[in-house]
Structure 1
């Protein structure tokens, strides 16, 4: 099983560091035979567990997402050698709102303008505020930074959409196709699907994992 954690510094022409980028890349070929992709993702982190809920145990995008939302994502998304997930892109505050995030995607991810980091035509992301940038708070009390986090998440979501990301089903996840002819490229931002709910593991999947002794605890 080949898994990459790709960490890059974002620099300008003078090698000045503007920010950083982290991408997770999961080679998925073996899961067609082992059927333990969900268990594997559970071992990584809570974030990878949530992300894996988009897929079945063989690392294929769940068929429901071909029907929900704009219905633009299908089997082509995971008929790839790998699944790529943009874990974070952090731009230093003094360089924010200058189009650097858009520049990074164009320079690094679009195949006609740069070199793809991983062997896939799709990049997933869950836009949101970075938790570590806010002071910790009592989980049993209301989050005093909730409104600020929501505002940042909305701004990042809009930025992702401007750069070609479109919602997966009606979840909080988005996907970018590197193929300019993919159906997602024809969906205007105003017609992109709205968030309804995130994907979760079904009872059948949890029971199956328990029966195989594949639970992460």
Structure 2
């Protein structure tokens, strides 16, 4: 039995290492490919969680309301969800990872409210970008799709990820959902990867569209 964080690290590590190793065998090392493989692995995991956000939305609300009754304002459960021990049989279920959202709702109640922008932008990301994320990760190594087509799909995917994150930031700040919560509990650091990663991804896709090849990953 391991803590939840171990399974997160395992998923992201394997999801990054496999495409990087295959790419190294086919084309040699590329820091560009490795960087985007890491982002795609993280985004793939979160896409799965986001599908769980929709499927388990009633359970998430129930857990969040229970937290409200037992926790002082501005505090998180101890131990925090990611450091709770969980058997593998539970770790492979969406129900277990619904705790990501009920815990996150302590910092931003949007994720326990199915009428909110935060809820729908994340559910939408999970539904729309899961398959393109896998495609992009594979196409950096194998020419499964012409570069200009993959670049076009990719630039749409990365743009909507960054755009959605920026709008979420504005919604979070404008509605002052950060008030009464310690700075380290703020959502901004946790979501910043969805600005840096997509920005770099759009740069790569622009290169693919203009050059008509995948050479920027193969050098």
The question of a shared fold, defined as TM-score above 0.5 by the shorter chain, is answered with no
Relative to its length, the structure with more strand (as a share) is 1
TM-score, scaled relative to structure 1: 0.29
TM-score, scaled relative to structure 2: 0.28
Highest relative contact order (Cα 8 Å, sep 6+), 1 or 2? 2
Relative to its length, the structure with more helix (as a share) is 2
